[in-house]
Chains A and B, each alone.
Chain A
């Protein structure tokens, strides 16, 4: 029964991984733009959680609403200021511009808030499940992340706005012909995508409340790509499920490899993740969960 704590901790972590990747996946799906500045928006969300907690004693879940608003505004500005003017010049130009934007945001954050690691502590108790102490904050974060993923999916499936997004994903020109304002769909998708990424940053601090720093975003950009590709770029529930899967592989993989006597089990788990990515790219390049 030793496996259960590893499985549970992987699942909870995976839920947050999934959440932080939703925005990346949405933006790619709709705008065909790889948001390489992803990590910097995760970082902004983390700082929002930190400052709201330190200055106003806001719990991270309340900050998530604020972060959503800030993220949406930033996303809109990124679309108007960077993606829209450069999109015609080609994908590579947008990619480079977003890369520069990511670095710029990180450096501005350093100027404003300094290069040091900061953190906060929000303890609302823990529950013991199968020998694992689970922080209630993390558990709530994981459940909320699932709720956000499901409601976003519902939004895409059931509303007019969602249908217009899906129409644009399938065929931008066709969508325009039937009277959908493609520009507005693009702007809204960028806004929602970055808003959710920022919220993901807030939730992430439930796990790493002490590692907040202007340069913390990098690894999340990388892991975001892996998850988004595994789940199928543009597929929201796919991204979320792939996030769960990655969390579980990380944790269970560590357990399995360490029981099997491997010298560096967490490295092996990482290897397994990338091996899976490679296999998916080779045999099902549209992603595991994209039909």
Chain B
């Protein structure tokens, strides 16, 4: 896991999420493996957000530490880079914190995805848009030049066209941009109903700031990744109002043992409340302060849970048997339901939720079954937001 370097923050949260679940499992007697209760041990090393280091660590974990299973490092580039190693040694690896579709297009048998891939990110956002307002016609898409963001943008474009929307601008920008004015001027000329920015953290915040500066208004503005961080609102203030974004998981999401019972699937692992409690403990131990988990943490936890569920079903730590068990599994955790598609090796039961910044809070607005609040639509204009109006 990258605990320092450019993915430090996300890597740290992912690690804590995985540890939280391992602690929960061990506090509950361990995992049932072939009739015997065994404790789970999580080994981790800091890959410093560097691919070569991530690769040598993965190699060492498999050959020297003899681990039974792997959790991928955070970041699509790193996860993609270590996948061949998992495949080479036939060690089952759950991909967490990485959603590039390319990871799963390599035909690797032992590499499984527990959450929706990048190309699906904007699907719920577009669904929400056309269901809320059937008159929307045009979409502009801006994306950062990176593996992950390109997939998000391509997926968004394909799905928008499938819904009959017209993509009026489709622009890439450099991965560490200082100024997006040229791209934003182009979006302004296209005057779209919906603006989608396939962004990461800093560039997403920059995009919002410059859309505001150039007063490019739209009925709906959606960004990937950036709006999910609390700092998004801290940095942008009321400009962040009304912005929506897809998320893998939010503390407001309601997957419960009762829901599992209703749907007739098995429940596995901690409840959401238990996970949050355990996560806070780990965060306090390792980071010095109690913080709440975000989607990175929950995603990593889901990776651990998926493997452990497979172990329990298969009654062994043999990767082939665990994989076979997972392929026929259908269960629910606090993160999502889990059903592994045996061709894509991705959990197809996971769907993303959409959040919106309303009155300084990040609330789940879609799908309506798990939503905390109604979508504020159409978005306020930048002038209204700058004047302090809130989307609630």
Are A117 and B229 neighbours in the complex by a CB distance under 8 Å? Answer: yes
Are A254 and B183 neighbours in the complex by a CB distance under 8 Å? Answer: yes
A208 lies within 8 A of chain B by Cβ: yes
Are A219 and B176 neighbours in the complex by a CB distance under 8 Å? Answer: yes
Are B172 and A119 neighbours in the complex by a CB distance under 8 Å? Answer: no
Are A265 and B12 neighbours in the complex by a CB distance under 8 Å? Answer: no
Partner of B215 from A17, A110, A117, A133 at Cβ < 8 Å: A133
A286 lies within 8 A of chain B by Cβ: no
Are B182 and A210 neighbours in the complex by a CB distance under 8 Å? Answer: no
Give complex CA distance A116, B13 in Å.
11
Are A213 and B178 neighbours in the complex by a CB distance under 8 Å? Answer: no
Residues of A near B183 (CB, < 8 A) are 254, 266
Are A9 and B181 neighbours in the complex by a CB distance under 8 Å? Answer: yes
B161 lies within 8 A of chain A by Cβ: no
Are A208 and B178 neighbours in the complex by a CB distance under 8 Å? Answer: yes
A258 lies within 8 A of chain B by Cβ: yes
Instruction: Tell me whether A107 and B4 are in contact in the complex, defined as CB-CB below 8 angstroms, given that A117-B229, A266-B171 are known contacts.
Output: yes
- Chain A contact-residue range equals 35 or more
* Closest beta carbon of chain A to B164's beta carbon, Å: 23
A5 lies within 8 A of chain B by Cβ: yes
Are A118 and B231 neighbours in the complex by a CB distance under 8 Å? Answer: yes
A174 lies within 8 A of chain B by Cβ: no
- With both beta carbons as reference points, the residue of chain B lying nearest to A207 in the complex is identified as B178
Residues of A near B215 (CB, < 8 A) are 133
Partner of A267 from B5, B145, B206, B229 at Cβ < 8 Å: B145
Partner of A215 from B6, B186, B209, B231 at Cβ < 8 Å: B6
Are B231 and A116 neighbours in the complex by a CB distance under 8 Å? Answer: yes
A13 lies within 8 A of chain B by Cβ: yes
Partner of B205 from A107, A117, A264 at Cβ < 8 Å: A117
Residues of A near B12 (CB, < 8 A) are 115
Give complex CA distance A143, B201 in Å.
29
Are A119 and B234 neighbours in the complex by a CB distance under 8 Å? Answer: yes
B179 lies within 8 A of chain A by Cβ: yes
A120 lies within 8 A of chain B by Cβ: yes
Are A210 and B9 neighbours in the complex by a CB distance under 8 Å? Answer: no
B324 lies within 8 A of chain A by Cβ: no
Are A266 and B174 neighbours in the complex by a CB distance under 8 Å? Answer: yes
Residues of A near B6 (CB, < 8 A) are 215
B173 lies within 8 A of chain A by Cβ: yes
* Closest beta carbon of chain A to B203's beta carbon, Å: 7
Interface residues of A in 186-211 (CB under 8 A from B): 204, 207-211
Give complex CA distance A90, B6 in Å.
31
A172 lies within 8 A of chain B by Cβ: no
B370 lies within 8 A of chain A by Cβ: no
B235 lies within 8 A of chain A by Cβ: yes
Are A9 and B182 neighbours in the complex by a CB distance under 8 Å? Answer: yes
Complex interface bits, A1-34 against B, C-beta within 8 A gives 1, otherwise 0: 0000110011001001100000000000000000
Are A266 and B172 neighbours in the complex by a CB distance under 8 Å? Answer: yes
Give complex CA distance A9, B237 in Å.
24
- With both beta carbons as reference points, the residue of chain B lying nearest to A114 in the complex is identified as B9
Are B182 and A119 neighbours in the complex by a CB distance under 8 Å? Answer: no
Are A213 and B235 neighbours in the complex by a CB distance under 8 Å? Answer: no
* Closest beta carbon of chain B to A106's beta carbon, Å: 9
Residues of B near A255 (CB, < 8 A) are 182
Complex interface bits, B309-340 against A, C-beta within 8 A gives 1, otherwise 0: 00000000000000000000000000000000
**How many B residues, CB 8 Å from partner?**
36
Instruction: Tell me whether A216 and B202 are in contact in the complex, defined as CB-CB below 8 angstroms, given that A250-B182, A254-B183 are known contacts.
Output: yes
B371 lies within 8 A of chain A by Cβ: no
Are A208 and B8 neighbours in the complex by a CB distance under 8 Å? Answer: no
Are A266 and B235 neighbours in the complex by a CB distance under 8 Å? Answer: no
B286 lies within 8 A of chain A by Cβ: no
- With both beta carbons as reference points, the residue of chain B lying nearest to A119 in the complex is identified as B235
Are B179 and A251 neighbours in the complex by a CB distance under 8 Å? Answer: yes
Interface residues of A in 83-126 (CB under 8 A from B): 107, 110, 114-121, 123, 126
- With both beta carbons as reference points, the residue of chain B lying nearest to A219 in the complex is identified as B176
Complex interface bits, B1-29 against A, C-beta within 8 A gives 1, otherwise 0: 00011101100100000000000000000
Are A254 and B182 neighbours in the complex by a CB distance under 8 Å? Answer: yes
B185 lies within 8 A of chain A by Cβ: yes
Are A119 and B185 neighbours in the complex by a CB distance under 8 Å? Answer: no
Interface residues of B in 217-257 (CB under 8 A from A): 229, 231, 234-237, 239
Residues of A near B67 (CB, < 8 A) are none
Residues of B near A162 (CB, < 8 A) are none
Interface residues of A in 264-279 (CB under 8 A from B): 264-267, 270
Query: Apart from A117-B202, A210-B206, what are 18 other A-B pairs with CB-CB below 8 Å?
Result: A9-B185, A16-B178, A107-B4, A110-B8, A118-B234, A120-B235, A132-B185, A133-B213, A207-B178, A210-B202, A213-B201, A216-B202, A250-B182, A254-B183, A266-B171, A266-B182, A267-B172, A270-B174
Write the residues of chain A forming the contact surface with B, with a CB cutoff of 8 angstroms.
Answer: 5-6, 9-10, 13, 16-17, 107, 110, 114-121, 123, 126, 132-133, 135, 204, 207-211, 213, 215-216, 218-219, 247, 250-251, 254-255, 258, 264-267, 270
Q: 28 A–B contact pairs at CB < 8 A? A: A5-B185, A6-B182, A10-B182, A107-B4, A110-B4, A110-B8, A115-B9, A116-B231, A119-B235, A119-B236, A121-B209, A135-B213, A204-B178, A208-B178, A208-B206, A209-B235, A211-B201, A211-B202, A216-B202, A251-B181, A254-B182, A254-B183, A255-B182, A264-B172, A266-B171, A266-B173, A266-B183, A267-B172
